[in-house]
Amino acid sequence: MKVHREGLSIIFTTAGILLLINYLLFSCVWCPVFSLIFAVFSVVFFLIVVNFFRCPKRVFADLGTGVIVSPADGRVVVVEEVEEDEYFHDRRIQVSIFMSLLNAHVNWIPCAGRVVYYSYRAGRYQAAYLPKSSSENERSTVVIERPDGEKVLVRQIAGAMAKRIVTYVENGDECSINEQLGFIKFGSRVDLFLPLDAKIDVRLHDEVRGNRTVIAHL
């Protein structure tokens, strides 16, 4: 299993802290049972942290120009027509994917094109599955203009436990499917805003996989 570079410092820090605590506990022989229990807990906790920062290798083969691929692993929590008021200022179809602590938190580019808008905004850390998290939480917004002129907005949103959003693209960058958009540390969500005539291929509560599940066709 490959570990994402965004998690290396956290993994090494966690390992160091756990090793130190376990060393101190085993040095104090007053409670060997507690020391053993904590050692087991340490191993389980460390494996959970490593699993969170896993970086699955996936290649999406069908690169048709009309395909919008899921930018994240998780569960679809929103499929509805909304008013998008940051960039488009008109009606769009919003598809939102909630990532739990058990999901890989790598984010992928949903379609090929050129980045025409990038914005980062600080904000709150409410539960990412709440509708208002899209506009009130810490977030990073990227708009990709496809070769046919259609634009797709993808927004990374911090959740209650997420404290850092990483986005790898900037204005003017050329991007394509199979490239990473960024990473969100701990529970979070990704929103897609698509044209009203998009054919949506997922339903509410569907489980999707980043860079694997087709979200829509334009």
More confident of the two residues 127 and 209: 209
**Domain segments of the chain as ranges:** 5-52, 67-217
Residue type, 66: G
User: Does 179 have pLDDT greater than 80?
Assistant: yes
Contacts (Cβ under 8 Å, ≥6 apart) of 146: 65, 111, 112, 113, 152, 218
pLDDT at 101: 80
**Contact status, residue 196 vs residue 66, Cβ threshold 8 Å:** no
Q: Check if 188 is active-site.
A: yes
Q: What is the pLDDT of residues 126-152, one digit of tens each?
A: 554 555 555 567 889 999 999 999 999
Class of the domain covering 67-217: mainly beta
- Cα distance between residue 113 and residue 172, in whole Å: 10
18, 41 contact by CB (below 8 A): no
Q: Is the pLDDT of residue 208 over 80?
A: yes
Q: Are 76 and 203 in contact (CB under 8 A)?
A: yes
Whether residue 3 is predicted with pLDDT greater than 50 in this model: the reply is yes
Average pLDDT of the chain to the nearest whole number: 86
Q: Read off the pLDDT of each residue in 154-166 and give the average, rounded to a whole number.
A: 76
Q: Is the pLDDT of residue 24 over 80?
A: yes
Quick check: 160 pLDDT over 80? Answer: no
**Encoded tokens for 138:** 């810490």
What pLDDT was estimated at residue 212? 93
d(CA 110, CA 51): 24
Residue-wise pLDDT tens digits, 70-83: 999 999 999 999 99
Q: What's residue 36's pLDDT?
A: 83
pTM of this prediction exceeds 0.85: no
Q: How far apart are CA 46 and CA 40, in angstroms?
A: 10
pLDDT of residue 16: 92
Instruction: Give the pairing of strands 106-108 and 188-194.
Output: unpaired
CA distances from 139 to 25, 50, 134, 135, 183 (A): 41, 24, 8, 8, 12
